[in-house]
Chains A and B, each alone.
Chain A
Amino acid sequence: QSALTQPRSVSGSPGQSVTISCTGTSSDVGGYNYVSWYQQHPGKAPKLMIYDVSKRPSGVPDRFSGSKSGNTASLTISGLQAEDEADYYCCSYAGSYTLEVFGGGTKLTVL
């Protein structure tokens, strides 16, 4: 299966907002409300930030929010902080045969 499409990089200044997109198809992102987002700092394991498109696990700041429109899901980070600089990956349920598909990842730089 093809990976979901994410921009390779995004950037923003402290305090600003950034949005990372994740584009799939009607067979994955567009077909189900099971999109998740992960933050990964260098050398570390991924950390779950958003699940079921827009739900935040306990402990994740409300600066992180998720949404979906059609075949594209989005992660928005408001009030950017230096520690938000990391790689971000989306993931979607893709049906009973393929199950899970990840995006290629987006590097967020806090200027």
Chain B
Amino acid sequence: QLQLQESGPGLVKPSETLSLTCTVSGGSISSSSYYWGWIRQPPGKGLEWIGSIYYSGSTYYNPSLKSRVTISVDTSKNQFSLKLSSVTAADTAVYYCARAPIMITFGGVIAHAFDIWGQGTMVTVSS
């Protein structure tokens, strides 16, 4: 069945750029029925949606993070990636990638839910 796996450095220095990749196995990232998202969870805190990407490359970002976030997709590798710039200690969190079934409306893309999640990867921002 479909699986997602996050990968990337577990330690990033303040002011640098956090980079993570999510590898999709057991299915194609190029399906028109889904988009692919990043969600994070600071230690002991709740979930925060970071952004999502459609296989075509269309991106959707959390307005509060938009100025620092870039999400990209590589369909040839069945992967999508997250870059978060100018990180601070507040960006320390478990980062999850997830799949969301969607529908496309005149108003835009609507996700039903995040139905399959990766196991998550802890990223610590510290010098």
Contacts and interface: CB of A to CB of B under 8 A. Distances in A.
Interface of A: 1, 3, 32, 34, 36, 38, 45-48, 51-52, 57, 89, 91, 93, 96-105
A78 to B, nearest CB: 21
A51 B48 contact: no
A32 B110 contact: yes
A4 to B, nearest CB: 10
Contact of A45 (B64, B110, B120): B120
The residue in A51, A100, A102, A104 that gathers the most chain B C-beta atoms within 10 A of its C-beta is A100
B47 A34 contact: no
A46 B46 contact: no
22 contacts: A1-B64, A3-B46, A34-B111, A34-B113, A46-B114, A47-B117, A48-B113, A48-B115, A51-B115, A52-B113, A89-B46, A91-B114, A96-B107, A97-B63, A99-B49, A99-B60, A100-B52, A101-B49, A102-B46, A102-B47, A103-B46, A105-B46
B118 interface: yes
What interface size band does chain B fall in?
20 to 34
Contacts of A3: 46
B119 interface: yes
A98 B62 CA distance: 6
Question: Shortest 6 CB-CB distances between A and B: which pairs?
Answer: A36-B113, A51-B113, A96-B108, A100-B49, A45-B117, A105-B46
A17 B87 CA distance: 43
A58 B50 CA distance: 27
A3 B64 CA distance: 12
B119 A36 contact: no
Given A51-B112, A52-B113, A89 B119 contact: no
Contacts of A104: 46
B36 interface: no
Contacts of B55: none
The residue in B46, B52, B115, B117 that gathers the most chain A C-beta atoms within 10 A of its C-beta is B46
